[in-house]
Structures are given as C-alpha cells and as structure tokens.
C-alpha cells in the first residue's frame, strides 16, 4: 500500500475503500462492519458515531482535514486504529470492533 500524508481522490495508485476492506478481511464468511462518516459533519456537529476524531484529539492529534486522520499511523504503540488513504477519502480500521470507517470530505 502506498503511504502518504494526503489522500488524492483521483490518484489511481490509491486503492478504493472496498479494495482495502477486502484485502484486510481475513474471513470472507465474517465480513467487517463498514460505515461512512462525513468529516465535515464530524467537525461541525460532532457527528462521528465511532468517536475517532475525539479520540485522536485526546491523543494530541487534532483533526481538521482528512489527511490529519493518517497521523495515527505514526504512533507505534497504537493498536486500535489504523488509517489508509483511499480514492474516496481516508479509511480507518477499528480493530476491537472489526470495523472499517470511510471518512469522506
């Protein structure tokens, strides 16, 4: 997977959200939970049912734009969340819930 600090929605080198989820799903008979969250709504209304934005803020990683979600990857001790740029936005996996969230602008 390419690693970068800013997703580009038109870059064909980035996988789609669906491709990422498929690539990291170990058991196709037990599909992960998936959700789509508008980052704009999360920032203006607090509408982030997975509380990822608040969690990152609590770690001293404020989120103002999609690429800020990728900062969690720099924390070697973080085991719960991982983030990937994808064509549609930023994909975040939540290990304990077996969930994948697509954050869109």
Domain ranges, ordered by start, for the chain: 17-104
Local confidence band at 13 (pLDDT 50, 70, 90 cut-offs) = confident
Local confidence band at 9 (pLDDT 50, 70, 90 cut-offs) = low
* Average pLDDT of the segment spanning 34-61: 95
**14 closest CA partner among 103, 91, 100:** 91
pTM of the model: 0.87
Q: How many Å apart are CA 90 and CA 67, to the nearest integer? A: 7
Local confidence band at 28 (pLDDT 50, 70, 90 cut-offs) = confident
- Give the 3-state secondary structure of residue 58: helix
Local confidence band at 26 (pLDDT 50, 70, 90 cut-offs) = confident
For residue 99, the model assigns a pLDDT of: 94
- Give the 3-state secondary structure of residue 94: strand
């Amino acid at each position: 997977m390419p690693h970068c600090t800013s997703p580009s929605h038109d870059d064909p080198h980035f996988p789609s959200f669906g491709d990422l989820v498929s690539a990291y799903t170990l058991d196709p008979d037990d599909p992960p939970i998936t959700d789509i969250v508008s980052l704009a709504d999360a920032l203006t209304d607090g509408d982030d049912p997975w509380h990822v934005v608040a969690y990152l803020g609590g770690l001293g990683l404020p989120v103002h734009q999609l690429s800020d979600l990728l900062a969690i990857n720099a924390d070697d001790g973080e085991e719960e969340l991982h983030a990937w740029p994808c064509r549609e936005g930023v994909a975040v996996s939540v290990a304990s819930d077996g969930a994948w969230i697509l954050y869109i602008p």
